[in-house]
Structure 1
Amino acid sequence: MKKLIKKLITGFLKKINIHHILNTLYQEQNNRHIETNVINSGAIFYPEATVSNAQDRSKITVGQGTHIRGMLHVFKYGGQITIGENCYIGDHSRIWSGDSVIIGDYVQISHNVNVMDTNAHELDAIERAERYVDLVNNGSWAEKGNVLTAPVIIEDYAWISFNATILKGVTIGKGAIVGANAVVTKDVPPFTLVTGNPATVKKHLTEE
């Protein structure tokens, strides 16, 4: 009898395709969340894309033709993300802003890339521990405190390869390439290839 009931339930679930229904409901909810947290000028957000905006929707702007598979996060204490037209943000990539991240047009960001304009935590150990406890107990901070931040700019036509990390205060020049697994701590000149940790110039590229 138990086997029969199990078979009937399994057949019923397959018939109504519950997995598809749940996915559809989740995607509709995620789309509504994105609409209320992003100024979207014709970008495409994929099902795996996530948005976390602790301020108002004007703090995240995405241009036409851009495809988002990763995460866009703006802290409550500050931050702004501006992404231009015809860009690509790969899956599991994270763009976190407590200051300002500006991405130009035709920028390609691969998967598992981290772009951070903030240290996210304080340098002082005691202060960091106390603020962490406050974060857990009371939620996101409205005041930045002593967290260090500095703007990040990624100019037009740049390509950031997989697993790369772009740290605060960095400008990636027009047409530059950041190699896989690179950690960028200083400005990257236009039309250069940088690799390594810390990233250094390995090759100069022609604009053509």
Structure 2
Amino acid sequence: MRERENEVLDRIRRGQLYTESEANFQDPLRRADLIFEYNSTRPGDAPRRRKLLERILGSVGARTVLLSPFHAGFGSNVHIGDDFFGNVNLTLVDDMEIRIGNGVMIAPSVTLTTTGHPIHPGLREDFRRFSKPVVLEDKVWIGSNVVVLPGVRIGYGSVIGAGSVVSRDVPPMTVAMGVPCRVVREITDVP
């Protein structure tokens, strides 16, 4: 059995297709009950919320604020740096790693997804899918209702405008927006 699991994990790492049935051995890594508990915890109970986040996420930095509710497929594949702020309704589809740097701010109703599905319906049997990591480098700011798709890296200090769908990498120190998301200018202003 272990050999089959390793073969599936290898395909997942390479961004190749795999099915729900093939990947179900990973279900113990899901943190659904803990996420439910976090979302039900009083906002003022910071120590309890912090302990839960440490159990839910793969790693979590200092001075992290994550407002409820948030959702994650696993939780254990998410790594957040220091000084993070995540507003309400953050959805993390973390079949693969999501890495969030230091000083990142995320507005309400943002989705970061590492997973997509084939376009052809014949290839979507048993919820067949592919996964690629998502990376938000330090000091990124993501506006409301943004969707970041599998395999995207958003560079240091960049700003993603509200309502954008980010389907390709965004270079550092730029403002990008739209559907599809495109760079509209560099950030050159000095505070």
TM class, shorter-length? 0.5 to 0.7
Alignment-mate amino acid for residue 62 of structure 1: V
Aligned residue pairs, count: 147
Structure with higher RCO (Cα < 8 A, 6+ apart): 2
In structure 2, what is the equivalent of residue 15 of structure 1?
none
CA RMSD of aligned residues (A): 2.7
Q: Secondary structure at the match of 1:201?
A: strand
In structure 2, what is the equivalent of residue 61 of structure 1?
59
Asked whether 1:125 is paired with 2:130, we answer no
Larger radius of gyration: 1
Q: Secondary structure at the match of 1:95?
A: strand
In structure 1, what is the equivalent of residue 141 of structure 2?
159
Q: 1:85-116: CA deviations, max 9, x gaps? A: 11111101212200110000000000011110
- Structure 1 ranges of 4+ moved more than 2 A: 30-36, 121-128
In structure 1, what is the equivalent of residue 177 of structure 2?
195
The TM-score, its normalising length taken from structure 2, stands at 0.67
Distance 2:81 2:189 in 1: 20
Q: How does 1:1-208 map to 2 (within 5 A)?
A: 26-27=40-41, 35=51, 38-39=53-54, 57=56, 60-69=58-67, 70-75=69-74, 80-119=77-116, 121=117, 123-126=119-122, 128=124, 131=126, 146-206=128-188, 208=190
Point out where structure 2 has 5 or more consecutive residues left out of the alignment. Answer: 1-39
Identity %: 29
Q: Secondary structure at the match of 1:202?
A: strand
Q: Secondary structure at the match of 2:180?
A: coil
The TM-score, its normalising length taken from structure 1, stands at 0.62
Distance 1:88 1:32 in 2: 17
